[in-house]
Structure 1
Amino acid sequence: MKMAYPNKPNPDDRSDNVEKLQTMVQNTMENMQEAEETLEFSNAEERAKIEAKNERRKESLNSLRSEIEDESQARQNGFQE
C-alpha cells in the first residue's frame, strides 16, 4: 500500500514576476485604448459601462505598477526562496 503524501505547493518562483506584471500593464493599456475607440459607436448605456470598466482598469494599473516596484525592489535585494 502506497502512503499518500499531502500535496506539496510549487516553490515560489519570483524570477520573472516583473516581466509578467509589465506584460499585464501593457495588455490593460491596450484594452483601455480599444475600449475608448468603441465609445463613439456606443449608446449611452454601453458608454457608461465602458467608462466604468476603464476606471477599474486605471485602478488596476496603479496596483500593478506598485507591485512592479515591490517585485523590482525584491529582485534588487536578492530575493531567495
Structure 2
Amino acid sequence: MPKPDDRRDNVDKIEYNIGKTIQNMELAEEMIAKTDDENMKQELKEKNNRREAALKGMRKEIRDEAIDKKNGYR
C-alpha cells in the first residue's frame, strides 16, 4: 500500500536543498580561484552551471508549493 502524499514539509526540504546547493557553488568558486588545473576549473564551472539550473527548478517548486497551499492542498 503506498504512503499518503504528505507534502507539509516540502518547502522546508526544498529550502534546505537550495541552501546546500548555494553553499556547494560557493565552495566550487573558491576552488576555481585556488587551482591552476584548467580541467578542474572547467569541470567545476560546468557543475556550477548545472547547479544554477537546479536552483531555478527548486525555486519554481517552492512557488508551486505556495500556490498549492493557497489553494488548500497539503
Partner residue in 1 for 2:69: 75
1:18 to 6, 11, 17: 11
Question: Runs of 4 or more off by more than 3 Å in structure 1?
Answer: none
Aligned-residue sequence identity (percent) comes to 37
Q: Normalising to structure 1: TM-score of the pair?
A: 0.86
5+ long unaligned stretches in structure 1: 1-7
Higher helix share: 2
Partner residue in 1 for 2:45: 51
Q: Normalising to structure 2: TM-score of the pair?
A: 0.93
Partner residue in 2 for 1:63: 57
5+ long unaligned stretches in structure 2: none
Residue type at the aligned position of 1:41: K
Structure (1 or 2) with the larger CA radius of gyration: 1
CA RMSD of aligned residues (A): 0.9
